[in-house]
Amino acid sequence: MACVASLKQELKLSESLFGKDNERFQIHAATMDELTCKFIGCNKEEFVVHCNFTDSYPQTRPVWFSDSDDPVLSTVLQRLSEISASGQLLLKMIRRLVRDLCKLHNVQEPSTMSILDQELPSEKSDDEMASADEDDGADDFAHEEDDDEDEEEEEEEEEEENQDMDDCMDHYEMEEEPSKSVTEKDDKDIDAENYAVLERLKSNQRRDYLKGSVSGSVQATDRLMKELRDVYRSEAFKKKMYCVELVNDSLYDWHIKILSVDNDSPLYADLKQLKEKEGKDHILLNMTFKENFPFDPPFVRVIFPVLTGGYVLGGGAICMELLTKQGWSSAYTVEAVILQIAATLVKGKARIQFGASKQRQYSLARAQQSFKSLVQIHEKNGWFTPPKEDG
């Protein structure tokens, strides 16, 4: 397949440019499933970064993450999702990763970056986007300083409360509507029905702020709005590999239907049979988020149908390390988690249990209890990583 050959070429070039003896950025392992690399800072501090690939690369973006809690690194990894999913995506991501880390750590770029620049199109547009973000950040900071001075001069409590409310509204305008041109570009990739959902959510958020009945946090709400927008724009979503629906228009409660699994898997055959018997052609997941997202993972459970195998626990909880605090990274995207769950169900040989008794039906309480027990066991004994040949 052309995509497999392309990934092999990108991995080969990456290893040749950033070997284990590179003074700044090193690739320590590169397979068709995972890339492991290391960035070395100005004081010789080391940051290990991982990148996972799916079978549908480059249509499905690689997932970048790190075990480091460094907020700068998390921000850099999150910025990689801004790169357009076109040819040589991995090489473009590596270039952005190395360049951003070198800038933030105030160190010289590796000499091999010039070779990478020759292999790839100009990064001018990306640099302009980053520059615009920095300018916005500077304006925001100046705006906050002015607000602080105003509050010191204005001692009346009512005026301070009004100023705080204005700050909240300004925050949403700056975060969600950075510029007309950016918004228009995003809108072209989203169909009318899903765009209406985004507009309704923004309207609800402003209404809740005015009423003083805000739920969740600004940080989590902003990130979840971005995640939902990215889902609506993604190729996997448009190709009906999965679909999402917010429960009661809540950004913190998602219903996800997995519509596509490996055609050669027993689960695929079971889904065809399920459609014939019950008229349903999907696996329904529930994904809920807390107000400290993305620094804590979402809770994910299967609602329907009842499954055996596939690392699905009693109640419908899913046994995956990345869904625990130990294995989670704030750089993970919601879509990457959805696609990883779909792949895990297949690799775990999940089967639909037709005619399951009521005692076997899934529930939130049972799922939470079984997941809690799972976490306690693995915190004590660690996680088992199967060999590559086992998936």
Convert the pLDDT of each residue in 24-81 to its tens digit: 999 999 988 889 999 998 888 899 999 888 777 888 888 888 877 677 787 788 888 8
Query: How many residues would you count in the chain?
Result: 391
pTM (two decimals):
0.56
pLDDT at 343: 92
Torsion of CA 141, 142, 144, 150, to 10 degrees: 170
Q: Which two tokens stand for residue 270?
A: 């079971």
pLDDT tens, residue by residue, 229-280: 999 999 999 999 999 999 999 999 999 999 999 999 999 999 999 999 999 9
**Among 278, 280, 298, residue whose Cα is nearest residue 289:** 298
Is the CB of residue 329 less than 8 Å from the CB of residue 71?
Answer: no
Is the CB of residue 35 less than 8 Å from the CB of residue 48?
Answer: no
DSSP assigned state of 138 = H
127 or 22: which leads in pLDDT: 22
- Residues with catalytic roles: 319
Q: Which two tokens stand for residue 117?
A: 């620049």
pLDDT tens, residue by residue, 275-308: 999 999 999 999 999 999 999 999 999 999 999 9
pLDDT at 7: 87
Q: Is residue 295 helix, strand or coil? A: coil
pLDDT tens, residue by residue, 103-113: 888 888 988 88
* CATH class held by domain 2-125: alpha beta
Is the CB of residue 166 less than 8 Å from the CB of residue 172?
Answer: no
Q: Which superfamily is assigned to 169-390 in CATH?
A: Ubiquitin Conjugating Enzyme (3.10.110.10)
**Among 312, 313, 261, residue whose Cα is nearest residue 282:** 261
pLDDT-above-90 percentage for the chain: 39
Is the CB of residue 242 less than 8 Å from the CB of residue 256?
Answer: yes
Give phi and psi for 286, each to the nearest 5.
-120, 130
358 or 267: which leads in pLDDT: 267
pLDDT at 80: 86
169 or 309: which leads in pLDDT: 309
Q: Is residue 26 helix, strand or coil? A: strand
Is the pLDDT assigned to residue 127 strictly greater than 50? no
Domain ranges of the chain: 2-125, 169-390
pLDDT at 186: 56
DSSP assigned state of 165 = H
Q: Which two tokens stand for residue 158?
A: 């009512």
CA angle 230, 301, 259 (to 5 degrees): 55
pLDDT at 81: 80
pLDDT at 117: 83
87 or 72: which leads in pLDDT: 87
Is the pLDDT assigned to residue 141 strictly greater than 60? no
pLDDT at 176: 42
* Mean pLDDT to the nearest integer, 75-96: 84
139 or 293: which leads in pLDDT: 293
Is the CB of residue 255 less than 8 Å from the CB of residue 249?
Answer: no
Parallel, antiparallel, or unpaired for β 307-308 and 299-304? unpaired
pLDDT at 387: 46
Examine domains 2-125 and 169-390 and report if their fold is the same.
Answer: yes
pLDDT at 294: 92
The amino acid at residue 209 is: Y
* Mean pLDDT to the nearest integer, 118-140: 54
pLDDT band at 187 (very low <50, low <70, confident <90, very high): low
Residue 322, class by beta-carbon neighbours within 10 Å (0-12 exposed, 13-18 middle, 19+ buried)? buried
Is the pLDDT assigned to residue 85 strictly greater than 50? yes
Sign of CA dihedral 90, 96, 99, 105: negative
Is the CB of residue 321 less than 8 Å from the CB of residue 275?
Answer: no
Q: Is residue 256 helix, strand or coil? A: strand
pLDDT at 98: 92
pLDDT band at 383 (very low <50, low <70, confident <90, very high): low
**Among 8, 10, 28, residue whose Cα is nearest residue 18:** 28
Cα distance between the two ends of the chain = 20
Q: Is residue 156 helix, strand or coil? A: coil
pLDDT band at 180 (very low <50, low <70, confident <90, very high): very low
Whether the bond between 58 and the residue before it is cis, its omega within 30 degrees of 0, is yes
DSSP assigned state of 297 = P
**275-280 CB contacts, 8 Å cutoff, 24+ apart:** 277/354, 280/304, 280/305
CB atoms < 10 A from the CB of 262, how many? Answer: 14
Q: Which two tokens stand for residue 384?
A: 């088992």
DSSP assigned state of 358 = G
